[in-house]
Amino acid sequence: MTGGYVTGGWSFVWAAYGWTALVFATYGLSLFLRIRKSR
Amino acid sequence: MTSQPTRAARAMLTVAIVCGVAAVALSVYADAALHGGRTVVGSWLPFTAACLAIAASALFMLIGDSFPSAPPFILAGAVACLLAGSYLGLFVAPPEHFMGEVQRIMYVHVPTAWSALLALTFAFGCAIVSLFTGAWKWDAKLEGGVEVGVLLGFLLCCQGAIWAKPTWGVWWDWDPRLTTTAVLVCAFLGILALRHFVDDPVKRATWSAVATIIAYVDVPIVYYSVRWWNSLHQMQSSPETVSPQFYLPLRLNAFGVLFLMTGFIVLRSRIAAARIATELAPPPPELLGELA
């Protein structure tokens, strides 16, 4: 951060989007597997 | 545990689809109007779009049992909204003046927060109806709402930490908004644990419904914490305070996460309903013979 302005930070942006996509995909897969098991 | 769709359910599905499509279309129109210089944001249009999307989501969650093939379509719509919103948020929208590129996290963080609170609100509604009616389908929907709410709450805390590090200099701070959110996630996680450890379906339904109603008290506290106390976390934005360039990616991602939440709750409720049906089914005759 310089003078109250945040500079750079793309790595944090990719981390947030990547983690969000991973969590959603993993949970969606777990639902799919649990539904198959419950049939 | 799916039932044949009734005429009313089909009508509700049609209304839900129309509401969902209209919400996205209104948001795109509002964005175009904004860029055309008209001050449509700040008027009834964004509010109407949000109400339509929430109505579509609520209808899907209520009639999801009747349409086994609906969740893949809801999830496909969610993914389409998320891809479009994330593309606009990452590559088209300009960086914010003070926070720079890091502000782009807002396009996933804020929709996750909205949907987390909506999922828990849905669970709260199911808890009340479950207590009053005793119908098992509401208990199954409650389980779906709580689990998806906890997932979104956990994700919300992770995204917030990733945003906090470059802007506040720390991953976590025991600030009112963050603390009340952590308490919320832990409380509802406790309800999932309760449901896991109680074998009697009747006791489990009653106890978890009561616990959900009690835990839900924290939801308005989370929402108003930034107004009631001196918080590091910024206050809620409104259409009047969001720059026009940020409007469409935020809205599209909000609808994407909302529809994803809806599909997840419908699917998770179906798993819970199947398990409850198995628990309530009479034991097989062979087992009865052995017991006799």
CB nearest to A16's CB, from B75, B159, B260:
B159
CA distance B105 to B240: 20
pLDDT the model gives residue B46 = 77
Does B160 reach chain A within 8 Å, measured CB to CB? no
Amino acid at A23: V
What are the tens digits of pLDDT across the range B127-157?
999 999 989 999 999 999 999 999 999 999 9
CB–CB contact B169 A1 (8 Å)? yes
pLDDT the model gives residue A24 = 96
Does residue B40 have a pLDDT over 80? no
pLDDT the model gives residue B32 = 77
pLDDT the model gives residue B258 = 94
pLDDT the model gives residue A15 = 95
The residues, ordered by sequence, that sit 6+ positions from B62 with a Cβ below 8 Å of its Cβ are B12
What are the tens digits of pLDDT across the range A3-24?
777 777 889 999 999 999 999 9
**What percentage of chain B has pLDDT greater than the value 70?**
93
CB pairs under 8 A between A and B: 76
Q: State how far residue B54 is from chain A, nearest Cα, in angstroms.
A: 20
Q: Is B131 exposed, middle or buried (0-12, 13-18, 19+ CB in 10 A)?
A: middle
pLDDT the model gives residue A21 = 96
Residue among B168, B169, B154, B152 nearest B264 (CA): B152
B114 confidence band (pLDDT: 50, 70, 90) = very high
Does residue B23 have a pLDDT over 80? yes
B290 confidence band (pLDDT: 50, 70, 90) = low
> Measured between beta carbons, which residues in chain B are less than 8 angstroms from residue A1?
166-167, 169
CA distance B51 to B133: 27
Higher pLDDT, B62 or B43: B62
Q: Calculate the average pLDDT of chain B.
A: 87
pLDDT the model gives residue B91 = 92
Helices A10-38 and B106-133, packing angle to 10 deg:
30
Q: State how far residue A30 is from chain B, nearest Cα, in angstroms.
A: 10
What are the tens digits of pLDDT across the range B162-196?
999 998 889 999 999 999 999 999 999 999 999 99
Q: State how far residue A33 is from chain B, nearest Cα, in angstroms.
A: 10
Nearest-Cα residue of chain A relative to residue B1: A39
CB nearest to B100's CB, from A9, A23, A39:
A9
Angle at B196 between CA B204 and CA A31, to 5 degrees: 115
- The residue with tokens 């302005």 is A5
Interface pTM (ipTM) of the complex? 0.91
Nearest-Cα residue of chain B relative to residue A29: B264
Higher pLDDT, B109 or B71: B109
pLDDT the model gives residue B44 = 73
Nearest-Cα residue of chain A relative to residue B86: A17
pLDDT the model gives residue B233 = 85
CA distance B138 to B243: 41
Residue B107 CB coordination number (10 Å): 28
- Give the pair of three-digit tokens for residue B20: 């969902």
